[in-house]
Amino acid sequence: MIKYSLNITGDFSNIQGMNAELTFPAEVTCTCCNVKHDKIVILTNESHKSEKDVYKCNYEMSCHSCRVDMRITIKNPEKQIKKEIKDLYGDPVEVVTCPVGVNGCNVAIFETSGVEINCIKDVALNILTEDDQYFENIHADGTRTVTGEYPPNKIFSITNYNNEIKRIK
């Protein structure tokens, strides 16, 4: 089994935490025959495949070349912070985010069998600002920048945005 972490890196301004919508377009390669699959696969934690007492995963397919089973499981990172904030109507709402550190923010963990994740094409972020404003489904634009504006004349941003997939132990 190979484990990966998905990290958001860049220069963060007015962001205390974030999490990702756990649905990702990804490029994958079979670890058995080393064939890179032509089509982008959609990985989501909303789909579940399992065989009783054998395995559970979120994504499964057979390699088109060697027919080996390729499985991916998506998990939330261990470091998460629960916080109660107010919604638009002043009602309390609990949000769960991953803390932003000097080296970025870990937003997802992948466990794979028979498959290597080459890259994640896009990540939809949910961002919690320093003053507890919560923004959902934010994407980076073509300039590698994530930004948002809210009253009264405040902004949050990630410049030099990058999502990197790294192998972990």
The CA distance from 84 to 95, in Å, is 6
Half-sphere exposure of 39 (CA within 13 A, CB side): 6
Residue 16 lies in domain = 2-168
What's residue 140's pLDDT? 85
| Tokens of residue 165, six digits | 């997939």
Tally Cβ neighbours within 10 Å of residue 32: 15
| Tokens of residue 13, six digits | 């301004």
Residue 85 CB partners (closer than 8 Å, separation 6+)? 92, 93, 95, 128, 132, 133, 134
Cis before 25 (ω within 30): no
Residues (pLDDT < 50) of the chain are none
Q: What angle do CA 3, 139, 127 make, to 5 degrees?
A: 80
What's residue 69's pLDDT? 92
Q: What angle do CA 76, 86, 161 make, to 5 degrees?
A: 45
What's residue 118's pLDDT? 95
The CA distance from 46 to 52, in Å, is 19
44-77 pLDDT tens trace: 877 777 666 667 888 899 999 999 999 999 999 9
Compute φ and ψ for 66, nearest 5 degrees.
-110, -5
What's residue 40's pLDDT? 86
What's residue 137's pLDDT? 93
120-132 pLDDT tens trace: 988 999 999 999 9
What's residue 52's pLDDT? 63
**What domain count does the chain have?**
1
